[in-house]
Chain A
């Protein structure tokens, strides 16, 4: 009954429009994540810059990928650390 009333007033979150929007949101995360290896490359470079302030890393073995599963997309990075720096060079922080 409540659901019927909500329907009548068009405010329930499971209205088909909201289902459509949520499905679109997800499908577009996947679609857009697909497009550009160049973007990932840029992200990689920025990551190296930031992380190098704190630790020495093996840049050649660094891996950054977008992992897509059914209902989410994750940024997965594998960054081999060679050694930690004793003091983080915070003053050199980018930005």
Chain B
């Protein structure tokens, strides 16, 4: 039986879809069978982040309504043998699927894959309830901002009341220089407030924009720091102990000098 993990946040735009694409791809690169499920019905995104938008025929609503078989709706990513996407429907709304159907779908997927990674929509309504219904573990994404951390706290409370305990946190878009200057909360500050365990920290990284433009997750780019962060997270998910990245090292003088003269 595979593991069903939902990636959620409360606040929108903090990096759930980016995290799903990167963690899913990194797990597949490690040789696991992975399916990523886009549950953001009506606002389908994961397909374009992965560069698979031209290959969609059926979607999650077609599957839950029995318009096609599960296998027909799964898109195989050509980059990695075990990597698959189940896309969201774009023209329906969130009520097109219910939690009971999601539970069934997830348990079916868990039979076929090592990891089922669910990309949750923003908010705490129906879409959120659907996304977490079939999950047994949760990852909460936040950024170092008051509003995002507040929403993460709310989500952690809701996950707990849905019996999804001990969620793991991703702190995304950290800017080490600002943290150093005391103008941005650090990972420790946020952990202190939310009292949860960390899955990983991700620096603000232009390569995320570049790789997303191309439809290639940042984990495929060996020079991307964010990509490195997500590769580490994938290995932590499989049970390896990988120390957190030292983002401070990026702010040193030598490092900036190296960057300036074109070394990575």
Contact = CB atoms under 8 A, between A and B. Distances in A.
Interface of A: 10-12, 15-18, 20-21, 23-25, 27-28, 31-32, 35
Nearest to B158: A35
Nearest to A11: B182
Contact of A17 (B150, B154, B189): B189
Contact of B182 (A15, A23, A27): A15
A27 B150 contact: yes
A28 B183 contact: no
Nearest to A22: B146
Contacts of A16: 182-184
Interface of B: 145-146, 149-150, 153-154, 157, 179-186, 189, 193
14 contacts: A10-B180, A10-B181, A10-B182, A15-B182, A16-B182, A17-B182, A17-B183, A17-B189, A18-B182, A21-B185, A28-B153, A28-B193, A31-B153, A32-B153
A20 B150 CA distance: 11
Contacts of A32: 153, 157
Nearest to B178: A17
Chain A at the B interface: SS class:
helix
A35 B182 contact: no
Contacts of A24: 146, 149-150, 193
Contacts, number: 42
Given A24-B193, A27-B146, A17 B153 contact: no
A24 B150 CA distance: 7
A32 B179 CA distance: 27
A18 B249 CA distance: 23
Given A10-B181, A25-B193, A32-B157, 16 more contacts: A10-B180, A10-B182, A17-B179, A17-B183, A17-B184, A17-B185, A17-B186, A17-B189, A20-B145, A21-B185, A21-B193, A23-B146, A24-B150, A27-B150, A28-B193, A32-B153
B169 to A, nearest CB: 14
A92 to B, nearest CB: 34
Given A11-B182, A24-B193, A31 B154 contact: yes
A12 B157 contact: no
Contacts of B154: 31
Contacts of A28: 150, 153, 193
A41 to B, nearest CB: 15
A24 B181 CA distance: 19
A19 B105 CA distance: 45
Contacts of B150: 24, 27-28, 31
Nearest to A38: B161
